[in-house]
Amino acid sequence: MFVIFGASSDIGRRVTRYLLDAGHRPRIVASKPCDLDRRAERVVGTILNANEITRDAEVVISCAHARHTSQLLPNLGRTVRQVVLVGSAWRYSLLKNAKADEVRAGEAAFLEGNYCGVMLHPTMIYGGAQEKNIQQLFKAICRWPVVPLPGGGKHLVQPIYVDDVAKCVVAAAQKRWNYSAVIPIAGPEPMCWRKMVEVLMKETGCRRVLVPVPLSPLIEFLRLLACLGISAPLDPDTLRRFREDVNISVEKMQNELGVKPRAFEIGLREALTQWGAIMESSIGA
């Protein structure tokens, strides 16, 4: 029996579908009733009643935020033999950052508890309805004649398509683990931010002027907006991470999980198909 927490997330929905297609009938958990796959066993609940929900489970999958890990693990049923947890590559950031600290705390709870299974740390996820990074960039390209490039757009990113994340989760859930593992998962190769913007412009057919913007003044501007209570399109911490290049080997991902991540251009085309309605409203705005 597979039990999935965070089943209403983009990743959770895809994991559910892949397990169902493989002949399993997972128990999927959401905090409130929603339009989850009716083929699965649906449960309204949270990690607070995980003991009851997982009473007969063998594998527990958490697509919820890593901050919940320390609450979830001690509440698992006695039959659970392994767990699959979704973290974030924020874990590898050297910046002093609350997001990174939450993920590291979740990883520590997993490793210190000697649970069998794996925690996966995906890089920037794109695709689906819930991610904000590429969607915000997509909307900006559709609406604005000029697109700013923080720090000149030189820093490296390694975006991974949401379906590839889901496939990694499913592969991990179906693999037998007798130890605690931590695996970063990422797109096939790093690219500079500017290249990512250029690919997005090409795929949308929108030609825009790219303007390099110094990073430090932009961060301070966003901090000022936050102090004034004005909602900003970007988190200053996200921009601070522009000082860190992401360059993660996918060898372990491929060898341990058997998942080969798709090229950014391919995943982007699939994402843009899903975002068609958003694109039309953005262009018409």
Buried b (16+ CB within 10 A) or exposed e, 111-131: eeeebebbbbbbbbbbbbeeb
Give mean pLDDT, residues 193-222.
Answer: 90
Element (H, E) at 270: helix 264-274
Q: Which helix (H) or strand (E) holds 125?
A: strand 125-126
Query: Who wins on pLDDT, 125 or 96?
Result: 125
Return mean pLDDT, the chain. Answer: 90
Is pLDDT at 278 greater than 70 in this prediction?
A: no
> Worst-scoring range by mean pLDDT, 6-20, 112-126, 130-144, 223-237?
223-237
pLDDT in the model for residue 283: 45
Average pLDDT over residues 6-29: 94
Please give the average per-residue pLDDT across 256-265, as a whole number: 97
Domain 2-284, CATH among 3.30.70.890, 3.40.50.720, 3.40.50.800, 3.50.50.60: 3.40.50.720
Question: Which residues on adjacent β-strands are paired with residue 162?
Answer: none
pLDDT in tens, 51-96: 999 999 999 999 999 999 999 999 999 999 999 999 999 999 988 8
The whole-number pLDDT of residue 37 equals 78
CA distances from 67 to 17, 99, 109, 129, 252 (A): 25, 9, 10, 22, 24
Query: Which is nearest to 249 in space by CA: 74, 62, 121?
Result: 121
Is the separation of the CB atoms in 99 and 236 below 8 Å? no
Per-residue pLDDT band at 25 (split at 50, 70, 90): very high
Cα separation of the two ends of the chain: 47
Q: How confident is the model at residue 285 (pLDDT cuts 50, 70, 90)?
A: very low
Sketch the domain layout of the chain as residue ranges.
2-284
Per-residue pLDDT, 99? 84
The pLDDT of residue 132: 79
Question: Are 84 and 117 in contact, with CB atoms under 8 Å apart?
Answer: yes
Range 170-189 average pLDDT: 97
Q: Calculate helix-pair angle for 264-274, 162-174, nearest 10 degrees.
A: 110
Is-contact 103 121, C-beta < 8 A? yes
Per-residue model confidence (pLDDT) at position 78: 92
Model confidence at 233: pLDDT above 70:
no
Q: What is the mean predicted confidence (pLDDT) over 183-209?
A: 94
Q: Please determine, for residue 192, whether its predicted confidence score (pLDDT) is greater than 70.
A: yes
Task: Examine the pLDDT at 174 and tell me if it is beyond 60.
Answer: yes
